[in-house]
Amino acid sequence: MQVDNKQWDLEVITDLFESWDIDLILKIPLSNTLDVDTRYWSKEPSGFYSVKSSYQYLQELKGDWSIQMESDLWRILWKVKVPPKVLHFSWKAISGCLPTRTQLLRIKHVPVESLCVFCNSEEESILHVLGDCPFANSCWNRSGVGLNFSTANTFTDCFKGFSVGGRSSMFEEVLMVGWGIWKAQNELLWKGRSSTVAEVVRLARNAHFSWMVA
């Protein structure tokens, strides 16, 4: 391109491209200004790249993000009064990056056994280990939260439904028990220590109470 004349450099184009490509290139309209081209990130009004907008865009591509989810679920989540480590766990579970055996095997390509450490009969996905597994189900029933996993395809779906259902006042219990289940999974996997359903719920509530009064 001849910048000063604001027209295509026909000699260069003819030298580099085939005739059909040349025709297409010459049909591309050129700007009437002499402004220098700059990089522009279309996902931000400012044009500058940000990790937040990039993450949101990737979630949109996967179908896991919506304006409703951003305005309701995430806003509620970050305001829940639970320990920071529980919020971090919750974010990983809801955003689909909790390192379950299925995640490690299929996404990270780590050669691990895929079966759930609790029931040893189903693949340990996020939805399974925190909801569908009989052990996890028993924990939810004992806590009295009563999360419905039967119609959810992902753990995120379950949390969306819980938020839309107007039960955000119980989010503290939900996040703490979910964290308690995951902690019990880690205790069994890495230390060989089994936990009872009562222990998981009691640990979750005690950890929450201790943090609140600290």
Residues in the chain: 214
Which residue from 74, 54, 85, 105 is spatially nearest to 176, judged by alpha carbons?
85
The angle formed by the CA atoms of residues 193, 195 and 199, to the nearest 5 degrees, is 140
Distance CA 74, CA 67 (A): 10
Give the model confidence (pLDDT) of 184-213 as tens digits. 999 999 999 999 999 999 999 999 999 998
Q: What pLDDT is recorded for position 187?
A: 96
Give the model confidence (pLDDT) of 91-135 as tens digits. 899 888 899 999 999 888 899 999 999 999 999 999 999 999 999
Give the model confidence (pLDDT) of 145-181 as tens digits. 877 676 677 777 777 766 655 555 688 898 999 999 9
Task: Judge whether 180 and 139 are in contact, CB under 8 Å.
Answer: yes
pTM above 0.75, yes or no: no
**Between 53 and 82, where is the model more confident?**
82
End-to-end CA distance of the chain: 67
Distance CA 31, CA 11 (A): 20
Q: Could you tell me the residue ranges of all domains in the chain?
A: 10-62, 80-213
**Between 150 and 143, where is the model more confident?**
143
